[in-house]
A and B are shown apart, each in its own frame.
Chain A
Amino acid sequence: MHYHLSRRAFLQLTGGMVGSALLAHALEPSLLMAQSPQAGSGKNLIFINLLGGLDGLSAFPYYEGPVASLVREKLRRSLAIPSELVIPVAGQSGIPDKIGFHPSLGKLAQHAGKNVKIIKGYGIPGELERSHDTCQILMSLGASKLSSGDMSGFMARLMDSRDWESFQFWALSTTNPPDTNTQKKPPIIVSDLSNLDVRSIAWETEDDLQQALGVSRQLVEVHAPKNALEARYRAVQRSTDVVISRVRRDITKQVVGNNLAGDYTDSELGRNLRDAAKILRAKKLAPDSGMGGRDTLILCAQSGYDTHSDQRTTNPADGGLPALLQSLGDNLAVLYRDLDSFGMLADSLVIVYSEFGRTNFENGTAGSGSSGTDHGHASNTLVLGGPVTAGVCGDAPDYQELSDEDYNALRPRIDVRDVFSDAIRWLGVDPAEIFYEAGYQPKPLRLIG
């Protein structure tokens, strides 16, 4: 295994390409490593971080049983999703409190429902924080409490634990610093693969540009960083050059979307999932892309779930939560169909998560207030993928806890790390090596298979 390329070898690799005015990194990224003969193989794990705190009781509402009645009649007289509009989830026979999809997730249920599992009552255990900041960082770290030590997130630790030849990490959204704070092998952070063009300046010709790019690379190479921060800057500069060239060569041209479920939307999440599909398709079809044979981790995000107001009820045209969920469901449906058509569904897993759930009681009374909810703790979410069978995981919330107006939140019944651990185990990595907070032992949830 060799992590270093000589400067000469590096320049030979990048010398003829159209790249940025930046210099590629002699150390990373893994795109530069020798091609694998096993093009197309390798597992694909996609995380989608719903920033702001998803209201689990709305996104995956209870539509039958005591909990549904309580929500409708006491907790959320104006915000409860009418039972007749909720799309049922399979595999709940014998369960009194039945859960389903928000109607805005209809396309997802229609196209991918057989491979979706709903997780009930997951969250961060421990001190039960309600701050965006603290909870996002805790979830990113895979910790139950903050400590002054390591600020590498569990995805970063996963990246560092694997060989270059077996693993790639693409961060298509920068969510929280620990996610990408690797110590050994930086991820590739690119938020819009269709927008990686290098522009000429003023009166430059194409030949001028090529000369300038070459000179820039030399200059960056000889310019000595003054401190560690500058060195880090230069490392990203170098990586950028390589990533851009390979993305332009192998990934941008991949055709995705426009399938039975439609196309990706022009939104943060739509672009993320479109790019995820392109990366995976290139991995399958471009054997010299340097991606074949590796497990691939992709981090995506969707913002806007801090619905203190504008939760509304069911109509996406009104904006607010319904519109966000529609975007989530529609884009996931397109991705699902894409993965299926690429023949990669069986090797792909999507995990959706959010930093916390929201309060049980809506803000204000029916017909007044702000049509929203405040910060809570536990929430509901979903996992999706070929290895996932339809159904639910976890138990309905405790009736008394739901009714507690003072506490006004749900305590997690499933440790979010157990959700992540199932996926990490699926990759063939022992989750105990990734989540090592004292006192925590990963418990299999059997989300997969």
Chain B
Amino acid sequence: MIPRITLFSISLRVFVLAVVYLNLFDNGDLLAEMRKRLSVDNRGQFVPLSSSRPFFVCYRPAGDTPRLGTVKTQGLKNDSVWVEFLMPKTQELISNLSQRIERLGNRKSSKIYRQLVRRRNALQLLARKALLVEADCAAPPTNEFQGDSNSLAPYHEKLSRNEVRHLLRKVAFGGSQELEAIGMEQGLSALADALLDGLGGPAEREKLDQESMVWARRGFYFDDDDPDYRGVRIWNMEALHAAQFHRFLFSRNPMHEWLMLMLAGHFATNLNAIDFSYSKYGHYGLLLHWNLLKENALGNLGILSKAMLDDPAMNEWLDNEDNHKGSPNQNFARELLELFILGAIDPITGGKNYDEESVVAATGFVSGYHESSQIDPESGRYVVGSAYDQDLHDQTPRTLFSHISSAQIYGAIEPRELIEHVLTKHPGSTRFLAERFGGQMLYPSLDEDMVAQLAQILLANNLELRPFVRRIITSEAMFSEAARSSCISSPIERTVQLARKIIRKPLPQDGENQEKRFYLLLTLRDTARDAGQSIFEPPSVFGWKGACNINRAGARFRGEGWLSEQRMLNRSHTCGDLMGMLAWLNFDLAGALGISNYRDAREIIRTIADDVFSMRLSAEELDILSDFLKTEQAANGSTTEIRVEPRADYYVWRKVSRLICMLADLSTNNVR
């Protein structure tokens, strides 16, 4: 009987080292490509550009899919080029090997374990190189990003790698390797399903909730000096921030979190700027507000809008708890119309959606709420709440939307009826919401027809976000040139995307490093804040002013608000601070990036550029960065060569981390 390991060894050789004469295909194209990429010596032999590494080529036989191959580095003649083809089977072999290695987890010192690990690593290296080749030298497929920017028709199912990554960068903080694989292997519909339904189902959502609450509860503090609160756990703002960043970084369903952030900028509430009378429990209101956003991120806009009426944070922030019969306060009603559910200007007609008379009417219609208390299940104590009292509600009949015949009413209606009325009867409402959210997901300044189409989708689906989002992310417009690099990434988007691409797996929440992990999350919070986006604390009811597609009096902006000298500097600190925290955590950066075994600076650079940033570097950029990895500079400016040692901590945290941050600062990596 032949041992399994021997069988494997044979199959490996068969699959990976299979040598094929190129003239099985149309080798004319390949030879031409070789001549472009390799020099030819005076004996007519190809001379590789680097003697230390194989040279990869992409070869696309007419009418066939691209093939990947490695040119042998020795003795090549221009009429007898040898190519190693990496078979698709390789990924399956890697997977099988990984399973076997896992099963041998308790025998790590055994010879077979080491052999298997070595072989898997070799295969992974080969697979990675092959992917790099594809990214580096394959001509872009002719049907890439060919979507019509003004069409919501379904885009074609089969996506290129660039297209998959584009979608994930637009609406999912860059996604994850598993989402990327779904997009590549199963196509657009399957990727949309995964993004919308969420990987892992309800169990995964529950797990994420539990994990994030570990951080939130960790922040409980006690104020024993205050006799009213002695021994009582008090929610802490920083801990809630950390809990949210945990969700951003480690959710398997990052589009949910991205949508939640988008909604937080829409239904903007800043708890740091308000003054709860229950101050020590005020932060509980923050939790309630964000829970609303979380639960409705793919829910119903009508339900979410109405829920804002009962949201103690919103009621405090916009004074609706002080808006009572006989003492009106217009703050909430005005912003409800202008910023939450209607908008000042109809994006299609350009006409005013409401007048001052309607603001006065709406103020009466949403009156009647007051601050109350409720039981916090965590502490068992009363915390801030919000309640409606019919006796405080102004029932004076008033005229709403006198200039819009389809939406005009005269009477006295209840708060929820007002929101329902505006969302379903005022033609400007769904147009406003469609333009606001659609523009953020696709690109700013959607044309009138697109806004009308998107509004129709919202209306036809009773304001459900799920079909609306699905239509957008599977549309031709999403894969059009207009949607590429159409907005400056917000500081949180940029920070989270970078961290997700590097950390990749949830960090354990217990053990001796728990304190450090907590501070990692807070550090990311801080760097995003310094670059202009403070989680939970949009600076005004407009939300974050730099946000993509923010509409300022009819003019759409593309995130330019994030750009200033100060914010640019702080933006550049984001990556450095992340690296500093990871070093402090003894994070295996080289291992996570898969570069531990590399000795060639260019391979390291190309791997990071591709895996972390989904970008191709020019030859000049490669040269500059390669020199950086291979040299160090003295105080007098002179440089000396150093060894490329990604296994060594000092090298990783001095050189590789800076390399990542240099790439992170490039303009290409700050747009989405």
Contacts and interface: CB of A to CB of B under 8 A. Distances in A.
B573 A199 contact: yes
B162 to A, nearest CB: 12
Contacts of B484: 226-227
A364 interface: yes
B663 to A, nearest CB: 8
A2 interface: no
Given A22-B569, A203-B583, A212-B628, A176 B327 contact: no
A57 B263 CA distance: 37
Interface stretch (A102-110, A229-237, A286-294, A342-350): A229-237
B9 interface: no
Contacts, number: 233
A425 to B, nearest CB: 27
A229 B327 CA distance: 48
A225 B661 contact: no
B621 to A, nearest CB: 6
B338 interface: yes
B2 interface: no
Given A191-B566, A198-B569, A230-B485, A22 B554 contact: no
Contacts of B639: 211
A134 to B, nearest CB: 5
B572 interface: yes
Interface stretch (A6-14, A238-246, A388-396): A238-246
A285 interface: no
A339 B151 CA distance: 59
Contacts of A203: 583, 649-650, 653-654
B665 A21 contact: yes
A205 B554 CA distance: 49
Contacts of A370: 319, 322-323, 327, 329
A215 B328 CA distance: 60
A93 interface: no
B329 A308 contact: yes
B565 A234 contact: no
A171 B569 contact: no
A308 B331 contact: yes
Contacts of A219: 621, 624-625, 662, 666
B488 A188 contact: no
B221 to A, nearest CB: 24
A369 B329 contact: yes
Contacts of B324: 364, 369
Interface in A153-178: 171, 174, 176-177
A75 to B, nearest CB: 14
Contacts of B344: 131, 133-134
A230 B667 contact: yes
Nearest to A309: B319
B563 A233 contact: yes
B296 interface: no
Interface string B477-496: 00000001111100000000
B667 A233 contact: yes
Interface residues of A, number: 80
A223 B329 CA distance: 53
A174 B670 CA distance: 20
Contact of A363 (B322, B542, B567, B582): B322
Given A203-B583, A239-B565, A215 B662 contact: yes
Interface in B538-559: 539-542, 545, 552-555, 557-558
Contacts of B318: 308
A375 interface: yes
B329 A309 contact: yes
Given A133-B344, A222-B620, A229 B356 contact: no
A220 interface: yes
Interface string A370-399: 101011000000000000000000000000
Contacts of A306: 331
A92 interface: no
Contacts of A20: 568-569, 572
A310 B331 CA distance: 13
Contacts of A21: 572, 661-662, 665
21 contacts: A20-B569, A131-B344, A133-B542, A137-B553, A148-B350, A176-B552, A190-B565, A201-B580, A201-B657, A202-B576, A219-B662, A226-B667, A229-B558, A233-B670, A239-B565, A240-B568, A244-B569, A363-B327, A370-B323, A370-B327, A370-B329
